[in-house]
Amino acid sequence: MKDKRKIGKFGWRVEVDLEGGRIVSLMKDEEGILGSFERMDGKMGNTHVCIPNFAAEGVEKFGFVFHGPFRNSRWQVVNQADDSLEVKCEIEGLEVVQKFQVGRQGFSHKIVVTNNTGERKRVNAAVHNYWETKYGWQGTKLNGVDITEGFKTNPEIRLKKENLLEFPGQKAIFWRVENFKVVKLWTGFREENREKIYDQKYVCLEPVMEREGFVETDKSWLEAGGKIELGQEIDLG
């Protein structure tokens, strides 16, 4: 059953789907920032958390689900007001709480991961952001550096706490992150006559707590009762 919740204030509007705890859309006035997009592979893409693993890390070694199970699980509403929404989901004793809030300072997305079990658990975390690029993404800049080719080669780039994101023809985005060290670049594509044809209406800049593969190291353990706090804030120039 589809169950979507909306919040809005000061020109900001956010829609969240409780199936997957996904951000269906984030808008400021009439400017789309995060959205939902039909990809070239036929799947629908929108912003979701990747917990306790990012991408394929831990899949072969530990039997983890690609990008973790939370993105395809049912979330419960904890609190909702005009300007905020808090949801949670717990799987095998690992609890994730997301708080979405809008205000004069922009949009805030806070994430708290808590180990409610009596044993340690491996954790890496990411947010698979789907940014709207209605004029394409050729010439996209992150902190003044052109990262266009990165959407084809998919590198992980070191993130600053405060970042400037510029998409062609759109307002500059001020993007602040908390406890995310790198960002993964990606967009969908299909192969045609041995050439890759890329989606143009969105790109994914995905903040990740640690580089892919971290969850397979001994540094990834979250002790029993332990907690990790992460977040991102978005505002327009």
Distance (Å, whole) CA 197 – CA 203: 14
Q: Is 23 left (phi over 0), alpha (psi -120 to 50) or beta?
A: beta
> If you search the block for the tokens 């550096």, which residue do you land on?
145
**For residue 52, is the peptide bond before it cis, meaning its omega torsion is within 30 degrees of 0?**
yes
The reported pLDDT for the residue numbered 120 is: 98
Phi and psi torsions of 60, nearest 5°: -75, -40
The reported pLDDT for the residue numbered 237 is: 82
* Cα–Cα distances in angstroms (integers) from residue 219 to residues 61, 173, 207, 215, in the given order: 16, 33, 19, 8
**CATH 2.70.98.10 is held by the domain 4-236:** yes
User: H helices within the chain, ranges in order?
Assistant: 59-62, 150-153
Distance (Å, whole) CA 203 – CA 54: 17
The reported pLDDT for the residue numbered 233 is: 98
**Alpha carbon of residue 25 to chain centroid:** 12
Ranges of the chain with pLDDT below 50 = none
The reported pLDDT for the residue numbered 70 is: 98
Strand 131-132 to strand 76-80: parallel, antiparallel, or no bridges (unpaired)? unpaired
Chain segment 44-101, per-residue pLDDT in tens: 999 999 999 999 999 999 999 999 999 999 999 999 999 999 999 999 999 999 999 9
Distance (Å, whole) CA 67 – CA 54: 5
Task: Look at the pTM and tell me if it is higher than 0.95.
Answer: yes
Q: Are 130 and 220 in contact (CB under 8 A)?
A: no
Distance (Å, whole) CA 233 – CA 34: 12
The reported pLDDT for the residue numbered 2 is: 67
